[in-house]
Amino acid sequence: MQLTGIRKYLTFLKMYRLRYRFPLPFLLYASRLARYEKLVKIKDKIVFSSFVPPYPSKAFDRFIASAGKKIPTSVYISVTNKCRYDCWHCSSRYRTDKELTTEEITKMIKDFQDMGVSVFGFTGGEPLLRQDIPEIIRLVDDRSSTVLFTSGDAFTAEKAKELKGAGLFSVVVSLDHFKEEMHDFLRGRKGAFETAVDAIEISKKHGFYTVISMVVTKQLLDSIFDFLGFAEKMKVDEVRILEPVPCGRLIKEKIMLSDEDREKLIDVHKIANRSSKYPRVSVFPYIESKHMIGCTAGIDHLYIDAAGNVCPCDFTPLSFGNIKTESIKTILERMHTYFDRPREKCFMAEHYQEIAKEFDDKLPLSVEKSIEICRRCKPSGSTDFYKKLLS
């Protein structure tokens, strides 16, 4: 159920009650931003977005408590690079086939939870091709919320029941087009559309917070509201809209959207979230803009690839160490030397050409090359959101 209008603002007041003490300028600023957001109620939980733990929960309390601190609030873990698709924008291309053991993942999750992480995302490759994925999700206790990213491949009703029992909260299904033939083409596999649609239906039936994640193409920009209308018919809770990023398979490609295209997507975020005709929408170019949260890669967010390399995010193929050889604390201290505050723009959007120059058919780049690039790439200014939060 969508919460809009006065119900939305009353819920905000309840969520940010007195024990969440924020500076007054920040609260006033956040209330203005709330005009373009939509809350979703799922059973007894309220969800601000798929980036935030559901309210009320211990995970939500931890998320709020970490605001403004150099604590990763979300960590996405690639549990495998195995995948039966051939997606046009695959960010895992050129990464090693090595995988962390269950024991290594167990220790990593414990260390991150003790540090204060409130959201764990499990991705790949296709994470459902790893047989112990329910066991891995079960490792996360109620201090954190869990999200699974999938193409839908191997997501059966039986698997959904098993994952629900393991404590999984949200399922994010990749769907790049509302036309079957186009999605199959973009994903490089016949039947991919039907698989994704089936996964969405299974996810909804089993009570998961269900999200569609799509990477927008220039061709789809003009029919984006048709896509959102299709998503609403499927009764999904949220749609994530990402722009293509030159990493992985696209590392040598010039596929970034223009500033004009980004402005169109920002308008989509604002229009859709003020209408009951569409699901909640999370547009990355809006969230990562200087007027919103900005790019928090390497600060609030981390990505651990299947081999254990610690990167700022899923789409920034820079490594600052490996959990198999160094402690997370040591790796984060190294990363925070260069990622010390949110940026006004996606790091890759600004500096992808520097990374492409150093690319040698293997990702992520080595720690030495990653540091060298960061020394050359001056950070953009801090965002309005964090300026108000820390005032």
Q: What is the full per-residue pLDDT of the chain (391 aa) written as tens digits?
A: 666 665 665 666 665 554 456 777 777 777 788 889 999 999 999 999 999 999 999 999 999 888 878 889 999 999 999 999 999 898 888 788 899 999 999 999 999 999 999 999 999 999 999 999 999 999 999 999 999 999 999 999 999 999 999 999 999 999 999 999 999 999 999 999 999 999 999 999 999 999 999 999 988 999 999 999 999 999 999 999 999 988 888 887 888 899 999 999 999 999 999 999 999 999 999 999 887 899 999 999 999 999 999 999 999 999 999 999 999 999 999 999 999 888 888 899 889 999 999 998 899 999 999 999 999 987 777 788 887 777 6
Instruction: Indicate the SS3 state at residue 79.
Output: coil
Q: How far apart are CA 97 and CA 21, in angstroms?
A: 45
Q: How far apart are CA 76 and CA 309, in angstroms?
A: 12
Contacts of 5 (CB under 8 A, 6+ apart): none
Instruction: Indicate the SS3 state at residue 19.
Output: coil
Helix (H) or strand (E) holding 218: none
**Which structure tokens are listed for 101?**
């053991």
Q: What is the pLDDT of residue 18?
A: 41
Strands 301-304 and 310-311 turn out to be antiparallel
Q: What is the pLDDT of residue 4?
A: 60
**Which structure tokens are listed for 379?**
């950070």
Q: How far apart are CA 340 and CA 68, in angstroms?
A: 11
Q: What is the pLDDT of residue 184?
A: 98
User: In one letter, which amino acid is 87?
Assistant: C
Contact of 187 with 226, CB cutoff 8 Å: no
Q: How far apart are CA 43 and CA 168, in angstroms?
A: 15
The phi-psi region of residue 248 (left if phi > 0; otherwise alpha if psi is between -120 and 50; otherwise beta) is left
Q: What is the pLDDT of residue 53?
A: 97
CA 49 to chain centre: 10
Q: What is the pLDDT of residue 6?
A: 58
CA neighbor of 197 nearest in space, from 210, 215, 216: 210
Q: How far apart are CA 37 and CA 102, in angstroms?
A: 38
Q: How far apart are CA 164 and CA 361, in angstroms?
A: 38
Contact of 260 with 285, CB cutoff 8 Å: no
Q: How far apart are CA 186 and CA 199, in angstroms?
A: 18
Strands 39-42 and 45-47 turn out to be antiparallel
Q: How far apart are CA 23 and CA 67, in angstroms?
A: 12
Residues 176-212, buried b or exposed e (16+ Cβ, 10 A)? bbbeeeebbbbbebeebbebbbbbbbbbbebebbbbb
Read off φ and ψ for residue 150, nearest 5 degrees.
-150, 155
Q: What is the pLDDT of residue 17?
A: 54
CA neighbor of 175 nearest in space, from 160, 192, 162: 192
Q: How far apart are CA 47 and CA 53, in angstroms?
A: 7
**Which structure tokens are listed for 348?**
């890759």
CA neighbor of 346 nearest in space, from 261, 287, 264: 287
CATH topology of domain 62-287: TIM Barrel (3.20.20)
Whether the bond into 56 is cis, omega within 30 of 0: yes
Residues 308-336, buried b or exposed e (16+ Cβ, 10 A)? bbbbbbbbbbbbbbbbeeeebeebbebbe
Q: How far apart are CA 217 and CA 18, in angstroms?
A: 43
